Structure 1
Amino acid sequence: MTSLPRVVIAAPASGHGKTTVATGLMAALRRSGHEVSGHKVGPDYIDPGYHALATGRPGRNLDAHLVGEDLLVPLLLHGARDADVAVVEGVMGLFDGQIGGRGFASTAHVAALTRTPVVLVVDASHASRSIGALVAGMHAFDPEVPVAGVIVNKVGSDRHAREVVDAIDLPVLGVISRDDGIVAPSRHLGLVPMDERDDAAAALDRLSERIAATVDLDHLLAIARTAPDLDAEPWTPDVTPVAGRPRIAVAGGRAFTFRYAETEELLCAAGAEVVTFDPLEDRDLPHGIDGLYLGGGFPEVHAAAIAANTPMRSAVREAVLDGIPTVAECAGLLYLCRSLDGAPMAGVLEADARMTGRLTLAYRHATAPADSVLGSAGTAATGHEFHRTHVTPEHGPIAAWTSDDRSLGFASSSLHASYLHLHWAGTPHVAQAFVQAAAHATARPAGHHATRPERRELDPAAAPADPLRHHGDVEAADGRLDFAVNVSTEPRPEWLSEALARGVTGSDRYPDARPAARAIAHHFARPLEEVLPSAGAAEVFGLVARLRAWQRPTIVHPQFTEPDVALRLAGHEPTHVVLAAEEFALAPDAVPEDADLLVIGNPTNPTGRLHRVRELEALRRPGRLLVVDEAFMDAVPGEPESLAARSLPDVLVVRSLTKLWAMPGIRAGFALGPAEVIADLRALQTPWSVSAPAIEAMVACHRPEATAEATARASRLARWRAVLVDGLAELGVPTVPSQAPFVLAQVGYGIHAKLASAGYAVRRADTFPGLDDRWVRIAVRPPELTRKLLTALRIELS
């Protein structure tokens, strides 16, 4: 049990003076010799800044939406360590929460969960005796929320004050008259942040004196001491320190004032060295950084000053494009755009921002559709949006989040940028993932980002910052003919488009993946409990990585790198078994006997090699889970070497509908395996991670008409692949025998970059373990396109 005197400062509605009174009380208590901790109900960043100035300690937030109910008391106790009183400022009206939420996360809800007495601040400027009725109603509304006293604010005269006080049946702790000198100025998103007010300290002095003269602080403390002991331990960061102590730069200053105190505490606990910089005043980023965090604030107010600091904008642009792991929230997103209301910004994102007359204010339950520096695909979080700006386009080719089937923000292998503010105490895994990404970032000479020539993020000839996170869609840009992305260019069948449309129509309710599971189970003649629909194959790899405390996770390479990324994000260091070049034949003896997790592709990306069932079965061992990635098996006519229809006690098969059916943005996949493994994976899966359109697609793609269409598509791919292979042979280019919708070709050093310059995107292969720049992966396309590529390749080889 922990003893903590505490009080909530609430009001009947916004505008009654909660922030003014609460901040004044914190300052007055501190100046009377008390160690005070300040807290704010809800997601607001601005009020905690005033609390910090008043108390000399970080301001803290208590938000059940962002961190969950169970963390509120531990976070309160964490913020109040070594304090002798905690003052909690409420939000909106005492009983007001999100519309439709029946008061969830309201001030009353937080007061009840933390068992904290309430002192009500009431604006009496437009009433007198009616204030007594208002207070009586607030006091009687919910017995679980004890209103223990009242502070009357904004009275016009002594006579007015007596009339109000006589009507109130609860103890009145103080009466404050109108004094505009102690009211913080406001603008489009609320109060002006404390960091932007040069007069903040002087205003706080006046406020503290006023509160001390008009409010009975001893009575307030007596109420605070009636709060019962709390049966909880203070919150501590739930992260594991990484090696290497990566250096993470955090934006601050007048334009970037929004971030929760726990964010930096989590970064430090995860092993990072945190350094701050000011995008307005500093001319360069801190020396030798490994990560970059751009939080919230008001860049729209300071757009001209940001634009004028050209050296800093250039430094940030170069650092991000160099692949330094970067997280940007709201203001950070705007800073990375090309422009903000016409003023040039860092120019990392192909997007522009502008002020609007519309306020976006909402909590979002979001899921990451792809791997990023904040975690693997399927990572879930609840965040808060609060802005009057709009970014066009709203999201990039890879979105940072999906929420209610809407794509939000921009993501890449090293960047995560969106409007969504997260309270990382509620999602400590994202802090862990970010620091891990910074620790694993390619080693750089100290400060090299400041002198390295600028380059485009999508330049396919430039070495990727993190090879394991590189994908072909990065190369297929700037109008190049796309032979890099492993997605069919054939139009989707009408029945599939109709199914996707049904999914969008049905997205007004939470998705139910059971129909997809039944369709898949029927198609492969497997028990329902052996099927797990997923948000693409990538989600399955993330779940598998967290399934057990793997002792020797092993991946057979060259292979799709998503399993590597997932395992590393989960804290594992996978062993690589690299197959010999030329035909990349499977060598079972090369696999460590103690490998308890073994991942292999079939057919393998990027080699296209189709391993025999008997070769795969030879890899099974007691205590080992064999994961076979069959993401391209549906492109193999007849699927002769598939394990999908076989129930084996130690084999998990991963499939994807992305490639053959041309819907990478839908993220539809599934896993087939032992019932107990599937059950454990399902327990780790984010609720509703599979969208309604993906569910409809899975059902449609396992009907008889889909089977016939898949067979026809696989046959066409085989014919088209033969055109590509024969053409490469005529040019003297060695290839690996492929059964996949791509071919691995040994074109020679530098040819990948030359083809890119000529307008042809092929997938660089030096990002796959075991391959180098001599190799490229070429996607199978219709013959008329393939012949164009072969002509360009002939020129580059001559």
Structure 2
Amino acid sequence: MVDVPRLLVAAPASGQGKTTISVGLMAALRATGRTVGAAKVGPDYIDPGYHALATGRPSRNLDAVLTSPGLIGPLLRRAAEVPTPADVTVVEGVMGLFDGRLGTDGFGSSGWVAAHTRTPVLLVVDISHLANTVGPLVSGLAAADPGVQVAGVILNKAGSSRHADEARRAVERTGIPVVGVIPRDVGLHVPSRHLGLVPVDEHDRAAAALHTVAGVVADHVDLDLVLTLAGTAPELGCPAWDPATAVGSAGAARSTSGAPVVAVSGGRVFTFRYPETAELLRAAGCRVEFFDPVTDQALPAGTSALYLGGGFPEVHAAALSHNRSLRSQIRAAVDAGMPTVAECAGLLYLADTLDGRPMTGALAATGAMHPRLVLGYRDARLATDSVLGPAGTTVTGHEFHRTRVTPSAGTDPAWLLSYDGSPAAPDGFATDPAGVGRASLVASYLHVAWAGHAHLATSFADAARDFAGTEVPVPMAAAEPPAPLDPAVADPLHHHGDEEVADDLVDLAVNVRVATPPAWLAARLREGVGQLAAYPDVHAARWAIAQRHGVDEHRVLLTAGADEAFTLIARSGLTTRPAVVHPQFTEPEAALRRAGHTVERIMLRADDDFTLTDETLSCATQSTADLIVVGNPTNPTGVLHPRAALERLTGPDRLLVVDEAFLDAVPGERESFLRGTQRDDVIVVRSLTKTWGLAGLRIGYVIAAPLVVDRLRAAQQHWPVSTLAAEAVLAVCTGPARAEAGRAAAQQLVQRDHLARRLDAIGVLAIPGAAPFVLARPGAGVRELLRDNGFAVRRCDTFPGLDASWVRIAARDLVTTDALVTSLQSVLRPAEEAAHV
């Protein structure tokens, strides 16, 4: 039997950095050209997603409670040998080193797995709040169980070299080597979702974050020593787990020709499933096909059974809801008796509604978010005969959810659950809609690791085989009259994106990045409420903006959003012959017209992707305008103009106003006039409302020559900027806030590029740009049809230079974008078909 070099990364407690360092080790070792296996102690689905990204191969869960003690070694060997033998295998632990199932004195813990498989432990210790004390801590953990070998230590979050040296000496006095010291670093920065990490398939910047943390680990950890320690692991002494062996001779006897198709939910929403589930179904004679409930409008051809796994559908309920054709097909399939197993997210997807959004309606129940997290192992027994086996079949499962499902009609339960000695209680749904004599649908919150219960796979495969060939009625879409075009807007220059949205629509019309300010910013604003008795004092906020951009404080004027800035420019006597470069945000021209000015329009052309060509610049320089307004990146085109091109719009006795309201969404704020030498003939307008979710607070600023600022201030009313707005400025100008804004800009760029690529793939013109939105041209009337499908996008016939064939689409998370494109395809297809008739 081939040796399995391996290490188990553990910690004294949760939150010490196990996942960051485990994933970083995997990626860093792989970057050296080695093949790396991965495994995870416990039932977690999310961390293994990052393992797979780091190693390029499946990660295996080592959970003695969900499977059995006898399967831990075989599953570990499978992680090390499939699809190819690994040079080293990294196992990520769970919680603290000796924390297992409650009431079992550590059974199934990281320490238990390490002792059971004789895997050396690499201990990660967060030393941000200790130094010399780390020595006794490590010594105590190393001596706690003679079967657990603590082979090395990684010190995490060292504050300085002196701090690191003190902690290193303390550990080395125990005789255990320090393998590396990680300084305080953002590392693998991923947001939390209920508990733990966001699934890797949902995280737009996962690959970039992985590259960062791999570099940190490679720079600060002795990888050669890691490999040496892994090589000290003794032989596992067991064969690898094998799905064909698990299903037995009955599975081997089944022919793969004409194998029934089991459709398994996947994509960015349904990310929770153990790899052994699909492997067992294949071994039992099935063909497994994955589908995405957000983007696929039909089940895979020939589907004979459905497996709907876990995930976070409550986060993407709108995206799931808008795929009406697939929802209808799945309901028809379930009603026809198609064998269906739904776990957690799958249960919610089969309900009538989820947080008020229509789902498939295959179950008479409603789902909704709940403030309490349900988490823990469950002993389960099938309550009735079903596609998973006869009544009384027992398994051990796991629950992890923060939603509740309320049945709207009486149904049989799927399982009888108990835990910690509690009496068995009914749970889930088991239905027989086609009257076949056993439940064809089993839906509950229970996650089951089929590796420990292979009989579930063989029973489900038999049910799929029995159903194969059954005709499923194709649901007919109700005929709907074409949506009438919206009436013309009375005053196009005063039309804004918020007028497009409604409670029942997915908002892709308004370009505010987040629905609510970040928690830390909201807390800061709540604290500021105590200052409301006094009149606003904006001096500190103005100084913070000046420091933020490295300009003199006298160049800064705070305003009630960018809109007020344009009103001040129009009323301050700075211009008598203004011009606006269009297409452009309409408020500057509207403000100039309200002030009685005649406005010249400098038009950019679609044929040039709305860029400033030499021809356009030549015409603009010959204009008699004494003030020209241009956006950068321009709203609604998203085009980021080179600063050098914009400088050609300046001239003797002419001011250039650059609307940079969206430039903080451009990584590095390149092409900004606030970088480098400040020009006295340029007025820069900025907004803080978009990035920080502060549209209701109205906060922006102008940076210009002191004399210009004085003219603008003279036209401004008293106290235009509120106390809370000034407090928001102070909050978002801090170093951590600026770092967060930088990460947000990088994420928005990924989202924008994804939207542009998806539009291009279906033949919809998308203008190249850098803003957190895309100007697209799907055709006249499409916007109205998208509203019928539940999506609000910004109409563009109110922008000078555009017509009703254009729409502006805000870039959101990738799941929402995929749902929009699926809807857009369904809208465009009838038009294409009609064109060919």
Q: Same-fold call, TM > 0.5?
A: yes
- Contact preservation (8 Å) 2:397, 2:449: yes
Residue number in structure 1 paired with 2:474: 450
2:179 paired residue number: 173
Name the counterpart of 1:414: 440
Alignment of 1:462-477 (within 5 A): none
RMSD, matched Cα: 1.6
Matching residue's letter, 2:186: D
Indicate whether 1:207 and 2:233 are aligned: no
Post-superposition shift, 1:2?
4.0
Query: Residues 140-159 of structure 1 correspond to what in structure 2 (within 5 A)?
Result: 140-159=143-162
Q: What is the alpha-carbon distance in structure 2 between the residues aligned to residue 207 and residue 397 of structure 1?
A: 49
1:365 alignment counterpart: 379
Q: Which residue of the partner structure matches residue 425 of structure 1?
A: 451
**Is 1:248 aligned to residue 272 of structure 2?**
no
- Does the aligned pair in 2 maintain the 1:369–1:400 contact within 8 Å? yes
Distance 2:456 2:297 in 1: 29
Alignment of 1:502-517 (within 5 A): none
Q: Distance in 1 between the 2:408 and 2:191 partners? A: 31
Percent identity of the aligned residues? 58
1:302 aligns with one of 316, 322, 337: 316
Give a deviation string over 1:460-492, Cα, whole Å, max 9, x none: xxxxxxxxxxxxxxxxxxxxxxxxxxxxxxxxx
Taking the aligned partners of 2:51 and 2:350, their CA distance within structure 1 comes to 30
- Kindly provide the CA deviation profile for residues 323-371 of structure 1, in whole angstroms up to 9, marking residues without a partner as x: 1110100100011111111111111111111111111111111111211
Post-superposition offset of 1:374:
0.5
Task: State the partner residue of 1:290.
Answer: 304
Question: Which residue pairs with 2:363 in the alignment?
Answer: 349
- In the TM superposition, residue 74 of structure 1 has moved relative to its aligned partner by 0.6
Within 1, Cα distance between the matches of 2:447 and 2:410?
Answer: 18
The equivalent position to 1:435 in structure 2, one of 461, 470, 474, is: 461
CA 1:411–1:403: 2 relative to 1, 3 Å: same
Change (3 A) 1:195 1:449: farther
Q: How does 1:279-678 map to 2 (within 5 A)?
A: 279-393=293-407, 397-404=411-418, 405-412=424-431, 413-441=439-467, 443-445=469-471, 448-451=472-475
Decide whether the 8 Å contact of 1:264 with 1:274 is kept in 2: yes
| Structure 1 SS opposite 2:399 | strand
Once residues 443 and 263 of structure 1 are traced to their aligned partners in structure 2, the CA distance between those partners, rounded to angstroms, is 23
Whole-Å separation in 1 of the counterparts to 2:235 and 2:100: 26
Q: Distance in 2 between matches of 1:105 and 1:442?
A: 40
Counterparts in 2 of 1:145 and 1:449: CA distance versus 1, 3 Å: farther
Distance 1:127 1:271 in 2: 56
Q: Matches of 1:111 and 1:393 in 2, distance apart?
A: 43
Please give the TM-score of this superposition, normalised by the length of structure 1: 0.56
8 A Cα contact 1:2 1:232, kept in partner: no
Cα drift, residue 442 of structure 1: 5.4
Counterpart of 1:33 in structure 2 is 33
Shift of 1:453: 9.1
Q: Cα offset for 1:189?
A: 2.7
User: Equivalents in 1 of 2:381, 2:28: separation in Å?
Assistant: 44
Gaps of 5+ in 2: 419-423, 432-438, 479-837
Distance 1:283 1:181 in 2: 38
Q: CA deviation at 1:396?
A: 5.3
Q: Distance in 2 between matches of 1:367 and 1:187?
A: 30
Query: C-alpha displacement at 1:452, in angstroms?
Result: 6.9
The answer to whether the Cα contact below 8 Å between 1:400 and 1:417 also exists between their aligned partners in 2 is yes
Partner of 2:271: 257
Equivalent in the alignment of 1:137: 140
For residue 161 of structure 1, the aligned residue among 159, 164, 179 is 164
Equivalent in the alignment of 1:544: none
Distance 2:71 2:430 in 1: 29
Equivalent residue in structure 2 for 1:227, among 218, 228, 233: 233
Contact 1:394 1:408 in 2 (8 A): no
CA distance in 2, matches of 1:231, 1:2: 9
Give the whole-Å Cα distance in 2 for the aligned partners of 1:16 and 1:449: 54
Distance 1:350 1:275, change over 3 A: same
User: Structure 1 residue 112: deviation in Å?
Assistant: 0.7
Shift of the 275–115 alpha-carbon distance from structure 1 to 2, 3 Å rule, reads same
Q: Given the alignment of the two structures, is residue 118 of structure 1 paired with residue 121 of structure 2, yes or no?
A: yes
Distance 1:394 1:76, change over 3 A: farther
Deviations 1:21-70 (A, max 9, x none): 00000011111111111100000000000000000001110000011000
Q: 1:181 to 1:143 in 2, by over 3 A?
A: closer
Amino acid at match of 1:440: D
User: What's the offset of the Cα at 1:197?
Assistant: 1.0
Structure 2 vs 1, CA of residues 395 and 233 (structure 1 numbering), >3 Å: closer, same or farther? farther
AA partner of residue 69 (structure 2): E
Query: Which residue identity is paired with 1:117?
Result: P
Deviation sequence 1:615-657 (CA, Å, 0-9, x none): xxxxxxxxxxxxxxxxxxxxxxxxxxxxxxxxxxxxxxxxxxx
Contact conserved, 1:340 with 1:352, CA < 8 A, in 2?
yes
Q: Among residues 95, 99, 117, which one is paired with 1:96 in the alignment?
A: 99
Q: Are 2:277 and 1:277 equivalent residues in the alignment?
A: no
Flag the 1:450–1:286 CA change in 2: closer, same or farther, 3 A.
Answer: farther
Give the partner amino acid of 2:111. A
Q: Give the Å deviation of 1:444.
A: 3.0
- Contact map agreement 1:20 1:184 (CA 8 A) in 2: no
In the other structure, the counterpart of 1:191 is: 197
3-state SS in 1 of match to 2:297: coil
After TM superposition, list the pairs within 5 Å mapping 1:734-749 onto structure 2: none
Distance in 2 separating the partners of 1:198 and 1:135: 37
Distance 1:25 1:396, change over 3 A: farther
Is the Cα contact below 8 Å between 1:395 and 1:408 reproduced in 2? no
Unaligned stretches of 5+ residues in structure 1? 455-798
CA distance in 1, matches of 2:408, 2:187: 41
1:6 matched residue in structure 2: 6
Cα deviations by residue, 1:490-546 (Å, 9 ceiling, x for unpaired): xxxxxxxxxxxxxxxxxxxxxxxxxxxxxxxxxxxxxxxxxxxxxxxxxxxxxxxxx
User: How many angstroms apart in 2 are the aligned matches of 1:94 and 1:396?
Assistant: 45
Assess, with a 3 A threshold, how the Cα gap between structure 1 residues 309 and 332 changes in structure 2: closer, same or farther: same
Q: Distance in 1 between matches of 2:394 and 2:452?
A: 11
Contact 1:395 1:410 in 2 (8 A): no
Give how far 1:181 is off: 4.5
SS of alignment partner, residue 186 of structure 1: coil
Q: Does the C-alpha gap of structure 1 residues 147 and 394 become closer, same or farther in structure 2, counting only changes over 3 Å?
A: farther
Taking a change above 3 Å as real, the CA distance of residues 337 and 452 of structure 1, as seen in their structure-2 partners, is same
